Structure 1
Amino acid sequence: MYKVLFVDLNQHSREKIPYTLDWNRAGFALEGYADTSAAALSLCGKDHFSLVAINMNEAQAEGIELCGRIRCQSFVPIILIGGVSDFQLARKAMYYQVSDYLPDPLSADDLTASLLTLKHKLDSALQADHHAHALSSSENDSSAQTNVIDKVKEYVEEALHQNITLKEISNILHFNCSYLGQKFKCHVNMTFNEYLLQQRMEKAKSLLQHTDMKVYEIANVVGYSEMDWFYKKFKSYTGVSANEYRKMISITA
């Protein structure tokens, strides 16, 4: 069961869907409640939550600001609930890597579907963590070091759609981040960030060539929520835009 911190910035909405939904059936449990941004940040710092759900309704600007403040200290998944559908707010939500943005009118089915999608992602990440933990071993043994590097690569492959940092992987494997970074570069002949970029771009190239997925869908699959950033990285890596690359592939096929 994944722990949820529910933040209600619209304090007159205690009878709305978020409180009547059976969160447990979706694999989540309401373990914390806050009615101000300050209280939410305090709880995030004290306890480990798997999800922060923010009911912003008439406090959308405050809700978006809270997302930014949470991102300064954590990459915990965030779902925004309530308020009007607004393109600029949606862009800011994407910038802060919000998992979902559910404006009014909100239905229980919409929220349940969003939670089930997030649960699938959390389950996948948890499975990857377990695999990595199982193969953490002596850093003094050369073969063990190679095995650890392989697990770093496996983790990257399984969590490519998520925000990935070497620091998080180092914590999972119980290694010093700088030490693991040096060992990774020694074994792979490139830095971790260079390797991560390579894997994302090669995956994007493969999807452009072998699927009919839209470019923004491919960007999400390889871990980019900001389209401009994905376009910039892809063009820098291949020399052409994603759309140009797909056209070139179709011509040569």
Structure 2
Amino acid sequence: MYRVLHIDSDTRSREATERMIDWTESGFSLQARAVPETEARSLSDLHSFSLVLINMNRSHSESFRLCEKIRHRSRVPIILLGGSNDFNLARQALIYQVSDYLPAPVKETDLLASLQGVKRELELRASGGMPPPLPLPLPSKRTRQPSIVEFVKRYVQEELHRSITLKRISDDLHFNCAYLGQKFKHEENMSFNAYLLQQRMEKAKRLLEQTDMKIYEIASEVGYTETDWFYKKFKEYAGISANEYRKQLFVTA
């Protein structure tokens, strides 16, 4: 059973969170409760907890100050609950390597999924299969805060030859999938799936232009296991088939 430190200055919201799910059945136990006024005492024994749960309903800035203090001491997983649906807040959460950021209203299914993600991480750490993440440098006022979308785009570029879904990425980054999708569309003005298709097709174009790779090899290189499906998606994207695209290059050369 993993012990959880629950930090919430509002008694009513704290009790609502505790009643939201069956914590014991999920493998977690709310062994302690704390409010920001007693944070110094609460943070002195972080090593005895497996997860810190922070409710952000009252003060976002206070919650992030808590995250900063925790990260100076520990790599313990953190879940932030009840923040507003604001992209900048999600970026700040990423700075402190929180395991998940669940904006209000928090859904039972999202909280359960987040807890299961933390549980998998803890089990991997315990088995030696996953070392605790290295600490990120905490931001100064002049430091540009990285965007979670930048991490997603980097992930796509590095894994383009594989099967990629936003769900898989959100699990790896410990972020809520629906929220991550909203933030991606907000920043890039296109959905994640549209961006993924664009990156696959543009890379396929470059390979057709710059290499003599066979079509099925290019399809595999950009993440398609079925060549026929690649043919279909390429023609929809480019307006002509992959073979015609390559032939056209020789005609215009």
What is the TM-score with the length of structure 2 in the denominator?
A: 0.55
SS in 2 for 1:106: coil
Q: CA deviation at 1:57?
A: 0.8
RMSD, matched Cα: 3.4
Q: CA deviation at 1:6?
A: 0.4
Residue ranges of structure 2 left out of the alignment (5+ in a row): 136-154, 175-198, 212-217, 219-253
Pick one of 124, 147, 159 that aligns with 2:130: 159
Assess if the C-alpha contact under 8 Å between 2:7 and 2:33 holds in 1.
yes
Letter matched to residue 82 of structure 1: G
CA distance in 2, matches of 1:209, 1:83: 32
CA distance in 1, matches of 2:110, 2:77: 17
What is the TM-score with the length of structure 1 in the denominator?
A: 0.55
Question: Cα distance 1:41–1:69, how it changes in 2: closer, same or farther (>3 A)?
Answer: same
CA distance in 2, matches of 1:109, 1:50: 21
Q: Which has the larger radius of gyration?
A: 2
Assess if the C-alpha contact under 8 Å between 2:82 and 2:105 holds in 1.
yes
CA distance in 2, matches of 1:98, 1:12: 24
Question: Cα distance 1:68–1:95, how it changes in 2: closer, same or farther (>3 A)?
Answer: same
Assess if the C-alpha contact under 8 Å between 1:17 and 1:107 holds in 2.
no
Alignment match, 1:40: 39
CA distance in 2, matches of 1:26, 1:250: 48
Q: Quick one: percent identity of the two aligned structures?
A: 37
Q: CA deviation at 1:17?
A: 2.8
CA distance in 2, matches of 1:216, 1:82: 21
Assess if the C-alpha contact under 8 Å between 1:9 and 1:59 holds in 2.
no
Letter matched to residue 114 of structure 1: S
CA distance in 2, matches of 1:15, 1:57: 13
CA distance in 1, matches of 2:205, 2:60: 43
Alignment match, 1:127: 127
Which residues in structure 2 correspond to 1:171-190 (within 5 Å)? none
CA distance in 2, matches of 1:85, 1:16: 20
Q: CA deviation at 1:208?
A: 2.2
Kindly indicate whether residue 36 of structure 2 is the aligned counterpart of residue 4 of structure 1: no
Letter matched to residue 31 of structure 1: Q
Question: Cα distance 1:206–1:18, how it changes in 2: closer, same or farther (>3 A)?
Answer: same
Assess if the C-alpha contact under 8 Å between 1:82 and 1:104 holds in 2.
yes
